[in-house]
A and B are shown apart, each in its own frame.
Chain A
């Protein structure tokens, strides 16, 4: 075991070239998602046994066209490849190229050659290239670039054993230099090369070009480079443009030499024919909305069965353990705090898995690019982006997978706005709250004998959330300043049949990262909330039973009724109850009392907890029967007015509050994970709560 050699191998290439497929083929289930320090990019690594002696750690770099980053996420690639002493610097890079479109895969390759990084060119999609009638002289290509070239098919695995074999041999950097820096800046580049002791001229040139993007340079280094560059009249854009033109002319010459037969444009005809329908004025949108409906439907309908199963399993597990364990605070913590907390994480898995399966299929097939194309103009008006559509729609099922789906948005500002407004979309957890309250305050009558008032109000609430999202996005668009320019320069991939194993890997990857990253926070907060709701100061908790007996006086209580009253008494005197009472002055203007205050506090864990808390407060025991809760709420009296507590004004105020308020710690946890810090989730929480408070206030005060 000890004699094993471990190689670090990085996969690079443009998006859609088949990098992920190759990564999945090489590493299998042996992958893990970590973070690059300090930035919002996932680091996908996995191990691969190349042969008996050589182990490789494979790293999947973000898809890029060139070393010059277009998005924040892409900066990491230059950063890694320019820092020879960095921990992520690879021993070898495999450049995955799309053989049907070799020209724009070669740009990055020529840059890697100039950095003198040992590189293997893996020509992927050779089958498609062959079908398009194209034929390449691989030997001449390999000789001209002085680097090994392998043909692979990342869909079937053809050529992968050869690639593995090749990687075990020590790969040398190519001896070629493609781009020579211009004479007028040569002294400058030489100076930087000497100062930082760099192996190649081009590396020094990259230091000049991307000074700000290289995280390993100290600020003194950066100042030195900028000062020198200024003194020598070095203009980044001017030289970068000239470099690209020069590289492409080299590539064009090379391709002219190695292309035995060029592809026949006819092969894309099928793709164009599909595009005619899918991007059509009418059919395009119609098909898109049908696809959305299907996704929506599958998240709601299909996920419900496993979710109910998980729900009941965890409830049963809690019960079984509760009977099995002796009494005591530690065991209570396990059965009532931790197990339901884990249940609260696991319950989201079906929705997340199904949603990401749908998204992966859309991405793999090439349809996602068309959705972006169709929706970009409309979304841009609101500071969003064509790529915001899917997260927003997913948000109607659950904000957690929706926010995870924003990863596809390249522009950081657009992505941040999308993350910020997604929780306004009414998710499935709001539904139980809405149903109870709507049924309570809206009469069950029909408008024109056709439209049900209750249904209309429910739809109105969904629309309210949607418009709040759009308007907030518009406001944020004006507030958030960014140097990053928003643009859409996106390849439209040819339509393809999805590769199912890639879909499966996506599901596993997303689910895993949700459970482990967001799950930790969700679990911690649920335990805290449980403690707050089960413990109180002084001896009020232990005296609960006596007190209830005393209050009941002569009245005979059934065992069930007695238990329910004890639970209610305990909640009232718990820390959560105290918080609820402390909140009362603040929420009174909204029409709420301390009992609703407790529900607001506990439902911060998740909105649907509102219903079960209300049930406990009003000593209803179980929450099974919606009619019971409704009946009890209807008879609740407001001691100040003598009238019912749940007037239409209070009900509407609560509905609006729950439409706007964040009230979901899982979302906060995910936003924290996706924005890498507490800043944005806290701003979001403050903004949504403030909006909810003010709107509920206005509603209550005007209506009562």
Chain B
């Protein structure tokens, strides 16, 4: 499982499909924001110091910290 990439490792402009979560508590909140397994996510850009990041998911833009993004695993 450790070999799975997370959103935190994506590059600006890349798209991927969410595969799951590494943090149970956080996953509940992320799910509510429309970050569902099987959903397409696009990495838009990062803030100047690389954190937080801005992604597009479920039709809108969302910013989250690298700490949160690294709990979301992806397939691409």
Chain A interfacial positions (CB closer than 8 Å to B): 65-66, 68, 70, 100-101, 103-104, 107, 237-238, 240-241, 244-245, 248, 263, 268, 272, 275-276, 279-281, 284-285, 369, 372-374, 376-378, 386, 485, 487-494
Asked whether A241 lies within 8 Å of B62 as measured between CB atoms, the reply is no
By the criterion CB–CB under 8 Å, are B54 and A373 in contact? yes
B24 CB within 8 Å of chain A: yes
> Whole-angstrom distance from the CB of A70 to the nearest CB of chain B?
6
Complex: A276 Cα to B25 Cα, angstroms? 33
CB–CB B33/A489 < 8 A: yes
Q: Closest approach, in angstroms, between the C-beta of B46 and any C-beta of chain A?
A: 9
A490 to B62, CA, bound (A): 6
B52 touching A487 by the CB < 8 A rule? no
A241, A276, A493, A494: the one within 8 Å of B28 (CB): A241
For B26, what are the chain A residues with a Cβ–Cβ distance below 8 Å?
485, 487
Tell me the complex Cα distance, A373–B45, Å.
11
Instruction: Output the least CB separation between B61 and chain A (Å).
Output: 4
Q: Mark B22-50 against chain A: 1 for CB-CB distance below 8 A, else 0.
A: 00111111111110110000001101111
Contact assessment for A485 and B34 in the assembled complex, using a CB-CB cutoff below 8 Å: no
CB-based contact A489/B45 at 8 Å: no
Given known pairs A103-B34, A244-B28, A377-B51, the reply for A488 and B45 (CB within 8 Å) is no
Is B32 touching A244 in the complex (CB atoms < 8 A)? yes
Among A101, A248, A268, A374, which residue has its beta carbon within 8 angstroms of that of B31? Answer: A248
Is the pair A373, B32 in contact by a Cβ cutoff of 8 Å? no
Which of B31, B33, B47, B52 is within 8 Å of A241, CB to CB? B31
Tell me, rounded to whole Å, the shortest Cβ–Cβ distance linking B67 to chain A. Answer: 8
- Give 24 A-B contacts (CB < 8 Å), ordered by A residue: A65-B33, A68-B29, A101-B58, A101-B59, A101-B60, A103-B59, A104-B32, A237-B24, A241-B28, A245-B36, A248-B31, A248-B34, A275-B54, A373-B52, A373-B54, A373-B63, A377-B50, A488-B64, A488-B68, A489-B33, A489-B63, A490-B62, A491-B33, A492-B63
Contacts of A107 in B (CB 8 A): 32
A residues less than 8 Å from B33 (CB atoms):
65, 104, 489, 491
**B62 A377 Cβ-Cβ under 8 A:** no
Shortest CB distance A52–B (Å): 41
Given contacts A248-B36, A488-B64, A488-B68, contact A70 B31 (CB under 8 A): no
A75 nearest CB across to chain B (Å): 14
Number of interface residues of B (CB under 8 A): 32
Query: Are A378 and B49 in contact (CB-based, < 8 A)?
Result: yes
Instruction: Report chain B residues within 8 Å CB of A374.
Output: 47-48
> Which 6 residue pairs are nearest across A and B when measured between Cβ atoms?
A492-B61, A244-B31, A281-B48, A101-B60, A377-B49, A104-B34
Taking a contact as CB atoms under 8 Å apart, the answer to whether A491 and B25 are in contact is no
A268 to B62, CA, bound (A): 14
Known: A237-B25, A376-B52, A487-B26. A68 touches B65 (CB 8 A): no
CB distance from B24 to the nearest CB of A (A): 5
Question: With A487-B65, A490-B62, A491-B62 as given contacts, are A66 and B47 in contact (CB-CB < 8 Å)?
Answer: no
Q: Are A489 and B24 in contact (CB under 8 A)?
A: no
Are A489 and B30 touching (Cβ within 8 A)?
yes
Q: Is there an interface contact between B28 and A65, defined as CB atoms closer than 8 Å?
A: no
Q: How far is the CB of A557 from chain B (nearest CB, A)?
A: 67
- A65 touching B24, Cβ below 8 Å: no
**A279 with B28: CB separation less than 8 A:** no
Cβ–Cβ contact B29 & A70, under 8 A = yes
- Complex Cα distance, B59 from A104, in Å, reads 9
Q: How far is the CB of A174 from chain B (nearest CB, A)?
A: 21
Closest approach, in angstroms, between the C-beta of B34 and any C-beta of chain A? Answer: 5
Question: A280 — nearest CB in chain B belongs to which residue?
Answer: B48
- Select the residue from A66, A104, A372, A493 with max chain B CB neighbours within 10 A: A104
Q: Determine the chain A residues whose CB is within 8 A of the CB of B63 once the complex forms.
A: 369, 372-373, 488-492
Contact A492 B62 (CB under 8 A): yes
Residue numbers in A under 8 Å from B28 (CB-CB): 68, 237, 240-241, 244
B residues less than 8 Å from A492 (CB atoms): 54, 60-63
Smallest CB–CB gap between A247 and chain B, Å?
Answer: 9
Beta-carbon contact of B36 and A284 below 8 Å: no
B58 touches A104 (CB 8 A): yes
Instruction: Look across to chain B and name the residue whose beta carbon is closest to the beta carbon of A248.
Output: B36
Q: Are B24 and A241 in contact (CB under 8 A)?
A: yes
- Given A279-B48, A373-B52, A492-B61; 9 other pairs, CB 8 A cutoff: A100-B60, A107-B32, A237-B28, A276-B45, A280-B48, A373-B47, A377-B52, A487-B64, A492-B54
